[in-house]
Amino acid sequence: VKTQTLKKTLNILVILLIIVIGLGGIYVQEKGNWTSLLPEYQFATDLKGYRSIVLKVSEETKEVEDTTNTTEDNTATENTTTENTTTENTAAENTTTNTTENKKTEPVNSEDKLTVDNYVASKKIVEKRLQQISPDNYYTIKQDSYNGNIFIQMVDTEDAEELASVFAQQGKFRMIDNETKEELMTNADIKNAKVGYSAQETGYVVYLNLEFTKEGAEKLKQISNTYVKTTEPDGESTKEVTKKIDMNIDDETILSTYFSQEIENGIIQLTIGEATTSYEKLQEYLSNASRMAVILDNGEMPLAYVSDENAYNGTYLTTEHVKIIFIVAGIVLAILVLVMIGILKKKALEGILSFVGYIAAYLLVLRFANVYISLETMAGMVVATILGYLAILKFFTMPQTESSMQKQFMETIKQVVVYMLPISIIAITLCFAKWLPLYNFGMAVFWGVVITLVWNAIFTRTSMVNTTKTDKAREEGK
């Protein structure tokens, strides 16, 4: 009897220890401050806060060629050039003056472009970019259908400021003739944009691979044969003539180059930055290339947007909300405990201890598994609590005789697994979901299932074996 009582006490002490650690934590004093030895809970955006970005349809203006005066101006240019044939420089100056005179300002988004269709198309592109770039893949996006403004909420990270700039970019890709400014390729020719890097003697080099569509590849082949460096006769000697292309994103030239060989596979590899051995530099180049890839990969927005707000907002939850959550959780747990007392009667104390121990162990695992605590995780925790509760009830109500203990235990485990299977299947599926709220829910339920099985296989079983053996020994003693 003594040995069994000792074993039982030991089991209870271990459970109590888990309860204390799981619900209270372990703290040590370091330089006057109490520091937790356990990993802290990781809170998600709904409990911590999020990055809020507002994209406004641009009301800016740009300078463009005034086509209405083209004929007149061209004549003026010709006249000026003829009059000033004495020096090239004077001609160039005059031409510049005329070019300036030929420009006019107009809105970047013309009136006829401000349609609901264009608003929606722009939002779709922003959302595609969000899906590719949003950290932890969680965001909300909504649009004001009256003015096209887009409102984004996303997980905040250190580089959120830079990420936000990606959404506002129109993503207008143009490959143009460096001299004539003739459009050679547009976004429609791009199939995809991917980032890669390779190790070279001088360090790591980051690339942006642009793959073009079938038609785009055909165009690229012609371009790579046209825009080359050639040698032409210049009187008695020869001179090198280079025909260049400019690669522009949102009217900004990112590359001005010529081709040294024909490109047949429809892929251009652009080097981002320079070869580096610095980890920070490599990360910077990779981030820049990724942002460029995200912009080019998802097409051109029909409208130009500007970033109007980019701020980190704290959670909506107030102390009142937290109070309500704790009160509701307390009431539900109290009901569960009362029902357990009603069902288990004499064994109720052991059952409650096991149940509280299970919750503590579950919370510990959530900490160590780095599960993000969000409202969806809490929903998963509710499901996991019920799973554990039902399992403990099942184990404590199974017939307990020493001879059939092992058989009964295995039978009960089987029953528990059977009723947990459908929700486990859903939980495991959701653990593969990219969408953070579903992933959080899936992880919370998954760990609930695992802990239910492990906890009962170790502690509930030990507790039951000890109780049965003690009872038997007492009876024999009598």
Interacting residues with another protein (CB under 8 A): 46, 49, 54, 140-145, 149, 151, 309, 311-316, 318-320, 374-376, 378-380, 382-383, 386-387, 390, 415, 418-423, 425-427, 429-430, 432-433, 435, 437-438, 441, 445
* Of 46 and 300, CB closest to another protein: 46
CB of 111 to another protein, least distance (A): 22
The encoded tokens of residue 153 equal: 């909420």
CB of 439 to another protein, least distance (A): 9
Q: Which residue has the tokens 């996991």?
A: 384
CA distance 470 to 5: 7
* Of 266 and 442, CB closest to another protein: 442
CB of 435 to another protein, least distance (A): 4
CB 14 within 8 A of CB 473: no
Residue from 291, 310, 306, 316 nearest 160 by CA: 310
* Of 431 and 473, CB closest to another protein: 431
* Of 92 and 425, CB closest to another protein: 425
* Of 149 and 470, CB closest to another protein: 149
In DSSP notation, 2-16 reads HHHHHHHHHHHHHHH
CA distance 143 to 152: 9
* Of 353 and 366, CB closest to another protein: 366
CA torsion sign, 349 to 342 to 422 to 405?
positive
* Of 51 and 469, CB closest to another protein: 51
Residue from 60, 244, 285, 252 nearest 173 by CA: 252
CB 265 within 8 A of CB 221: no
CB of 386 to another protein, least distance (A): 6
CA torsion sign, 33 to 34 to 39 to 43?
negative
Query: Coil, strand or helix: which one is 114?
Result: coil
Query: Coil, strand or helix: which one is 302?
Result: coil
* Of 48 and 281, CB closest to another protein: 48
Residue 39 CB contacts under 8 Å (≥ 6 apart), including other chains: 367, 368, 370
* Of 348 and 426, CB closest to another protein: 426
CB of 322 to another protein, least distance (A): 10
CB of 423 to another protein, least distance (A): 5
Q: Pairing mode, if any, of strands 139-143 and 150-154?
A: antiparallel
The encoded tokens of residue 338 equal: 């009362």
CB 50 within 8 A of CB 153: yes
Q: CA angle at residue 419 from 366 to 433, to 5 degrees?
A: 45
Residue type, 184: L
CB of 428 to another protein, least distance (A): 8
* Of 142 and 229, CB closest to another protein: 142
CB 350 within 8 A of CB 466: no
* Of 357 and 388, CB closest to another protein: 388
CA distance 191 to 298: 9
Residue 195 CB contacts under 8 Å (≥ 6 apart), including other chains: 206, 207, 208, 209, 286, 289, 290, 293
Q: Which residue has the tokens 């990779």?
A: 286
CB of 394 to another protein, least distance (A): 10
Helices 116-133 and 160-168, packing angle to 10 deg: 150
CB 400 within 8 A of CB 467: yes
* Of 181 and 321, CB closest to another protein: 321
CB of 252 to another protein, least distance (A): 29
CB of 283 to another protein, least distance (A): 22
Count how many residues are written for the chain.
Answer: 478
Q: CA angle at residue 268 from 267 to 271, to 5 degrees?
A: 145
CB of 470 to another protein, least distance (A): 32
CB of 208 to another protein, least distance (A): 28
